[in-house]
């Protein structure tokens, strides 16, 4: 069987590589969406080397009648200690091809920093998006945060905890978490200990603790076969949000694992899950 010029066997090999390393190699060889363009690269949203972002837009002018486009800020995963925005332009292009102005920021990583520095960087990138989105055809008051794994954690904290965005939180129209960790205290593992072990009040770092009434609408996507971040994280957070009156939908994809949920956004692998279509329908319900 052929998948966009790759055999099924070679695609499996690519996924195996992606599973044990950042997705930069996967991104380099995967076919990209043509109905999008990268319009800015390495734009500084702060003074640090890793406080930079890339911007993707639809390969068309902003619609005249409908006004500005929704803005998406996507945070990649990597255990808070790895990853680079250049490994995820396949996500930026996929979302832009669906009609969204999409920003993909880097953020500072462990061991150079610990919590809350990566959340603070996420907040700074969102504030930059609100200030500058209109220059790229985006609506600065209609921002949707999306993240995978550790990036979903960042998106969750920004959406659910008013400490980070302050008044700019009013611009958050919703958020989407893919395979996110939302309830993982106490910090018993090496990864969480390295990223959060210095914080004196572990409960303060948990999205499920911060969730409550008045939070932005939420979509939580996860794979039934995810053994890295178990689906219970999504189910339990959704229950907490619904109890506070926040609309929260959970979709659990059969046969999909932790890496597979993000790679299924790539053009040749969309048959593995409907993640991209579900995200697009959530970001812009009127356009779905």
Q: Could you tell me where the DSSP H helices lie in the chain?
A: 8-20, 24-29, 89-97, 117-132, 150-160, 162-165, 190-196, 207-210, 232-243, 260-263, 275-283
Range of the domain at 103: 2-287
Does the structure show a pLDDT above 50 at 45? yes
Percent of the chain with pLDDT strictly greater than 70: 90
- Pairing status of strand 36-44 against strand 52-58: antiparallel
Report the helix count and the strand count for the chain, using DSSP H and E.
11, 10
pLDDT bin (cut points 50, 70, 90) of residue 286 is confident
Summarised one tens digit per residue, pLDDT across range 6-20 is 333 233 333 433 333
CATH of the domain at 125: 3.40.50.1820
Task: Measure the CA–CA gap between 84 and 78, rounded to whole angstroms.
Answer: 9
Question: For residue 32, what pLDDT is reported?
Answer: 85
Phi, psi for residue 14 in degrees, rounded to 5: -65, -40
Alpha-carbon distances of 27 from 32, 81, 86, 174, 257, rounded to whole Å: 9, 19, 8, 27, 18
The C-alpha atoms of residue 3 and residue 237 are separated, in whole angstroms, by 36
**What is the rounded (10 degree) CA torsion for 75, 110, 192, 197?**
-130
Question: 112: how many CB neighbours lie within 10 A of its CB?
Answer: 11
- DSSP 8-state assignment for residue 31: P
| Number of domains composing the chain | 1
What is the crossing angle of helices 150-160 and 117-132, to 10°?
A: 70
Model confidence band, residue 49 (pLDDT cutoffs 50, 70, 90)? very high
| Angle formed at CA 23 by CA 18 and CA 29, multiple of 5 degrees | 85
């Amino acid at each position: 069987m052929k998948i966009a010029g790759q055999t099924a066997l070679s695609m499996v090999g690519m996924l195996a590589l992606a599973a044990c390393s950042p997705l930069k190699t996967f991104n380099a060889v995967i076919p990209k969406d043509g109905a999008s363009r990268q319009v800015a690269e390495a734009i500084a949203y702060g003074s640090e080397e890793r406080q930079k972002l890339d911007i993707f837009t639809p390969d068309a002018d902003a619609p005249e009648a409908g006004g500005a486009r929704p803005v998406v800020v996507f945070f990649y995963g990597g255990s808070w200690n790895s990853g680079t925005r250049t490994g995820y332009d396949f996500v930026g292009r996929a979302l832009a091809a669906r009609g969204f102005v999409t920003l993909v920021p880097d953020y500072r990583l462990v061991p150079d920093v610990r919590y809350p520095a990566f959340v603070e960087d996420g907040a700074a990138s969102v504030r930059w998006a609100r200030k500058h989105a209109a220059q790229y055809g985006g609506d600065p008051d209609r921002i949707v945060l999306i993240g995978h794994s550790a990036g979903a954690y960042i998106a969750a904290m920004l959406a659910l905890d008013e400490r980070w965005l302050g008044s700019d939180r009013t611009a958050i129209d919703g958020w989407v978490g893919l395979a996110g960790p939302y309830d993982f205290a106490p910090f018993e593992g090496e990864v969480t200990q390295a990223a959060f072990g210095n914080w004196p009040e572990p409960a303060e770092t948990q999205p499920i603790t911060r969730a409550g009434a008045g939070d932005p609408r939420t979509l939580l996507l996860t794979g039934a076969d995810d053994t890295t971040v178990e689906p219970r994280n999504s189910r339990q957070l959704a229950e907490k949000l619904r109890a506070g009156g926040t609309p929260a939908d959970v979709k659990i994809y059969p046969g999909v694992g932790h890496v597979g949920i993000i790679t299924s956004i790539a053009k040749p692998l969309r048959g593995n899950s409907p993640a991209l279509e579900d995200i697009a329908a959530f970001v812009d319900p009127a356009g779905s």
